[in-house]
Structure 1
């Protein structure tokens, strides 16, 4: 089964996110996806930066089923909000993945309904040269079986929300940003016996040089889940772990990205464009839980206090009347300002995004102004084996 765009006339703008709704083959019985691989159109190897395929968990109205346009278009229908269950993700430099023999990702078999399901494919085009006339039909090829395996696979997105709340000052060769999946969220989102993570895909944009995810069980241990000390945004492979790692309710998953902005003259903000930055880790696991996304961002109150401090103590022209982007750009980034920013990210309160596959936050908690995890007083367990690529 292939899920692809079809003859997209790629805009000449540097960054485009393209969304297409695809009707999947009818499957009245449940199947398992056992793996997938990229299908990148000839000539698009440097154009497609990354892509994701989302399964729609609700029936789509007719007005939604034919959508095939930029993801941020004003014509994008609201009905696509139910299409947030990730069934495949790929980034530049990756090949594909085949799941362990005991697990597969469920698809089809919608009891009491038509066997028809829909998916949304989202592609990030990086047209750095601003070329016109480019046509693309890239996507993913999925491998399916009717022989259901013992466990259902799920994918959880870890790291930082891609918003301008995160900033990397210019001229910094090793600046760290950290995203948290807190015990509060895993307590709500994971089954009582936990999950087993068997693969990981790290992701940043162009200034990322290292990505690391730590598995922290409070008062017990800290261990490395995945750590690429020589990360390249041009080689974002999916890595199979040598053995699955069990994550229990109440555990934390902490993802830290290191960025090199030594060649940049302006502050780099979190966001969607290639010149913005991201800090992500897609983890593949079983058995499937309701948790689909567990990321964080610094809280509004923390950021407001930081901008006020920049104005009062350092004379920056920051103001509540300005946007977050304008405030960050108003700061002249010297040694003291960079140190203050690092301190804010290390100690400030955060907002936790703890979302289900329907795209909404798991209910029952206030996810704002939470305290980040500090695991640094515990020595990480080291690994003496290589991750399988």
Structure 2
């Protein structure tokens, strides 16, 4: 139990799923910050963000000479999607429209406030390329904001241009020429093609035809040793998640942990098996995350040019554990798996060693308990200066973030608290989706200094569940974790977690049960949840005493906090638009016009 409790409290990953090689024969109009191949030999996308103007510029290429469309969707479908649609006519002129989808029918043109703007376009060799822009948040009820975190991009195309009737464009149904892609548009990691690392040394930590049990949830652990062929210290400059193609549907995530430098194993018989069965054996390997991968993420992760992950030679870590989570929901018994992790080694040492830090809640019921039918439960954690005091005076540089919850998670963020005042987000995963978990590259590296504190928040919704959701390992359980990649590496800054104190559980249960873990779980699962008790539960989380668990020089330390520390927060973002535009966007005549076009009477 200790291994499960501790290891899953630090789930974090940085990795991904699409190896990017551009297909379009048309060069983009300009240089962009980000680029990805949406669909091989079919669709490519480039984009850049102007932070000052809060504006995003796209360039979209599709292998067609008909109309093309790109949209931002709340959930990956048509309903509520905000769409830019364009085409090049026979004279070479660009046409571009701002459209909005109320349902599963032709998106209507927004004739009141044009918020998508076509800039230029062309057709070359059977491909259409269009450059266009919009604000990240237009304040328009017929637009969908591009939030920080993971965005759901939809795109479609036709083989023909729209038909113009009475000056209005009518588009034919795209049929199956429609697609969805999740992308963190404001923090994409731009994973390189694996060909970039051709010729470099590498090593793999990989399963070999492991027979996956038929259980719905399996956690398998294997100990690996640093390859002896690397007698000198090296820096890994990138790593690749090797996911067995036959098991993409059941490999949920994998984590690599560093074992304590004092750990000793029989090199001829390294432990391998069900994680809980190896609990005592793996105790030295449960608190230091090295890297990993999760469902929906990119396969390749490349480190910043100034830093790398140290391996071999005089590096103190000799042993590692790869933990695999198989989510075998159909309980199939005929699967064998050979997934793992590959590390590409640079030819020269870089200036800094990479380190990882994980914030949030421990992954158990004493930290996470979410009532059923709750549309919004907020769970906050706090990492005080006590746990951050070993940061060097020059600070540490944070370069990437990986937020993680399970199915009920809706948002994860961490704020920097300096002198008891929130100064900025370390990362804001306002838009989060469980099925696409990305390593987010911070738009600009952020420096943390001694005395800084960190506030982390996870937001959940359980309107689709009739039973309480508890913290735990299974996909149906929940987590609240936020991992950050930084340099230079510190040996006393790996994790900072929270849970509700046992005293708090005594108060909320009126001391009616023994204060042990199993009794608390039973009390939570047996409880009859009412509207009032669900509302009261948020108050409990906001005001109860907390247990802090943090890394201190390689040791695990604990501290009791009577409540979450107070801090002065910054004003939440509010979309601002000039009065005329707002009046126009919300004017009753506009709404009546929309209803008429939708053939709905009011």
For Structure 1 versus Structure 2, the TM-score category normalised by the shorter chain is 0.7 to 0.9
Structure 1 stretch 348-357 or stretch 91-100: which is displaced more? 348-357
Structure 1 equivalent of residue 360 of structure 2: 159
- Residue 356 of structure 1: CA displacement? 5.2
- Find the partner of 1:371 among 551, 563, 567: 563
Q: How does 1:72-151 map to 2 (within 5 A)?
A: 72-73=276-277, 75-78=278-281, 80-82=283-285, 84-95=287-298, 96-110=300-314, 117-151=318-352
Asked if the contact 1:268–1:277 (Cα under 8 Å) also holds between the matched residues in 2, the reply is yes
Q: How does 1:186-197 map to 2 (within 5 A)?
A: 186-187=388-389, 189-197=390-398
Structure 2 equivalent of residue 319 of structure 1: 513
Q: Deviations over 1:68-94 (max 9, x none)?
A: 101001x54435424643221211111
- Residue 173 of structure 1: CA displacement? 2.0
- In structure 1, C-alpha distance between the alignment counterparts of 2:422 and 2:459, rounded to whole Å: 23
The size of the alignment, in residue pairs, is: 366
Q: Deviations over 1:183-239 (max 9, x none)?
A: 22112x422332111001111111112111222213444311222232111100101
- Residue 117 of structure 1: CA displacement? 2.5
| Secondary structure in structure 1 of the residue aligned to 2:498 | strand
2:238 is equivalent to residue 35 of structure 1: yes
- In structure 2, C-alpha distance between the alignment counterparts of 1:307 and 1:280, rounded to whole Å: 27
Q: Deviations over 1:151-187 (max 9, x none)?
A: 1110111111001111000011222212322222112
- Find the partner of 2:452 among 251, 263, 278: 251
Q: Deviations over 1:303-322 (max 9, x none)?
A: 211111xx8xxxxxx52377
Asked if the contact 1:224–1:381 (Cα under 8 Å) also holds between the matched residues in 2, the reply is no
Structure 2 equivalent of residue 387 of structure 1: none
- Residue 336 of structure 1: CA displacement? 2.1
2:516 is equivalent to residue 340 of structure 1: no
Unaligned runs of 5+ in 2: 1-202, 575-602
- In structure 2, C-alpha distance between the alignment counterparts of 1:30 and 1:109, rounded to whole Å: 4
Q: Deviations over 1:338-367 (max 9, x none)?
A: 222211211212111112585x315xxx51
- In structure 1, C-alpha distance between the alignment counterparts of 2:420 and 2:458, rounded to whole Å: 24
2:527 is equivalent to residue 331 of structure 1: yes
- Residue 268 of structure 1: CA displacement? 0.2
Asked if the contact 1:84–1:357 (Cα under 8 Å) also holds between the matched residues in 2, the reply is no
Residues 1:150 and 1:80: Cα distance change in structure 2 (over 3 Å): same
- In structure 1, C-alpha distance between the alignment counterparts of 2:286 and 2:497, rounded to whole Å: 19
Larger Rg: 2
- Find the partner of 2:254 among 51, 57, 70: 51
- In structure 1, C-alpha distance between the alignment counterparts of 2:263 and 2:211, rounded to whole Å: 28
Asked if the contact 2:233–2:310 (Cα under 8 Å) also holds between the matched residues in 1, the reply is yes
Q: Deviations over 1:81-108 (max 9, x none)?
A: 2464322121111113211111112122
Residues 1:8 and 1:301: Cα distance change in structure 2 (over 3 Å): same
| Secondary structure in structure 2 of the residue aligned to 1:62 | coil
2:266 is equivalent to residue 71 of structure 1: no
Asked if the contact 2:376–2:461 (Cα under 8 Å) also holds between the matched residues in 1, the reply is yes
Residues 1:84 and 1:33: Cα distance change in structure 2 (over 3 Å): farther
Asked if the contact 1:267–1:329 (Cα under 8 Å) also holds between the matched residues in 2, the reply is yes
- In structure 2, C-alpha distance between the alignment counterparts of 1:79 and 1:282, rounded to whole Å: 22
Structure 2 equivalent of residue 238 of structure 1: 439
- Find the partner of 1:304 among 485, 497, 506: 506
- In structure 2, C-alpha distance between the alignment counterparts of 1:101 and 1:63, rounded to whole Å: 34
- In structure 1, C-alpha distance between the alignment counterparts of 2:539 and 2:446, rounded to whole Å: 31
Residues 1:172 and 1:196: Cα distance change in structure 2 (over 3 Å): same
Asked if the contact 1:21–1:64 (Cα under 8 Å) also holds between the matched residues in 2, the reply is no
Structure 2 equivalent of residue 294 of structure 1: 496
2:410 is equivalent to residue 209 of structure 1: yes
Unaligned runs of 5+ in 1: 312-317, 383-389
- In structure 2, C-alpha distance between the alignment counterparts of 1:77 and 1:298, rounded to whole Å: 26
- Residue 2 of structure 1: CA displacement? 1.4
Structure 2 equivalent of residue 185 of structure 1: 387
Residues 1:224 and 1:125: Cα distance change in structure 2 (over 3 Å): same
Residues 1:371 and 1:175: Cα distance change in structure 2 (over 3 Å): closer
* TM-score, scaled to structure 1: 0.87
Asked if the contact 1:105–1:152 (Cα under 8 Å) also holds between the matched residues in 2, the reply is yes
CA RMSD across the alignment: 2.4
Q: Deviations over 1:46-67 (max 9, x none)?
A: 2111111112223423289521
Which consecutive aligned stretches of 4+ in structure 1 deviate over 6 angstroms post-superposition? none
